[in-house]
Amino acid sequence: MSETKNSRWKIFTDQLRNKYRLVILNDDSFAEKFSLRLSPLGLIILLGSVTIVMTTLVISLVAFTPFREYIPGYGNVDDRKDIIMLSSKADSLEQTLIARDWYINNLLNVFSGKTEGRTTKPAKDSTGKYANIDIKPSEQDIKLRNDIETNQLESTSDKVSANKLNALSNFFFFTPLKGVITTSYNIREEHFGTDIVSKENELIKATLDGTVIFAGFTPDDGYVTQIQHGNNITSVYKHQSNIIKKTGDYVKAGEPIGVVGNTGENSNGPHLHFELWYNGFAINPQDYVVF
């Protein structure tokens, strides 16, 4: 059996080494114009060598020349950062122009006399019917209010602690901003988030994948972005100088959504106020995010 295999292998190798000649003749005179003498083994080696050389040239062309920037998904990281910053600056200029237009229109209305008049104050009751009404709460009323507020805080903290144990441990929260924590979460002082101080114009990133449910300006908190994540988790980013995403956009964890700023009446310096909400209750971001 082994001798048969050896004989077959010998026949195959001999066929690879057989010499063949490729001849090109003149069709009219049958004169030989070109001839090439090759074996199948030599042809395989020639094709393999050409393939290796061409592959090396293509890889070198992509790796060491600017042609790689034309390949989808192989762009320059610095260019992407520049594009994000330029988009942020363009949006800031747009907001500034809108504010300037409002200011100019208000001045034109003042100069032309198109100002809103003051609303008339309600007339003071002069009948004296309500002068003797005691509006101060009684001791029982004060005690009842204190008991209800205390029970609400305790029940809220119990629900939040129970919710923590259920599902939040399965999530990896991306750090929205690296910086120094100045004010921590304190539910009794109604401070439902964490304040992180960083350099002005630093990019703020989404902590989880989700959909932007609010992106706009509020007088107290300035530019605010709210993102709805899976498992009924919501993250809130306040006091931004500019917002990159708009309502309805889907964002990935770590994707820039805004820029650190000092907007809103509740802000006293460039920082980010970051909140996490789970099932309608505020939770401490420092339990899940490393700042």
Residue % of the chain over a pLDDT of 70: 80
Q: Quick one: pLDDT at residue 129?
A: 61
Q: What percent of the chain has pLDDT over 90?
A: 29
User: Could you report the per-residue pLDDT of 154-190, keeping only the tens digit for each?
Assistant: 555 555 554 454 567 778 889 999 999 999 998 888 8
- The residue type of 7 is S
Work out the pLDDT band at 76, boundaries 50, 70, 90. Answer: low
Q: What is the pLDDT of residue 224?
A: 95
Taking 60 as the threshold, does the pLDDT of residue 58 lie above it? yes
Which band of pLDDT confidence, cut at 50, 70 and 90, is reported for residue 273? Answer: very high
- The pLDDT, as a whole number, for residue 5 is 67
| Assigned fold of 173-287 | Glucose Permease (Domain IIA) (2.70.70)
Q: Is the pLDDT of residue 134 over 80?
A: no
Q: Taking residues 236-249, report their average pLDDT.
A: 92
Mean pLDDT of 37-56: 88
Q: Where are the domains of the chain?
A: 2-64, 76-108, 173-287
Which is more confidently placed, 13 or 132? Answer: 13
- Asked which of 62-71, 217-226, 232-241 is least confident by mean pLDDT, the reply is 62-71
Average pLDDT, the chain: 81
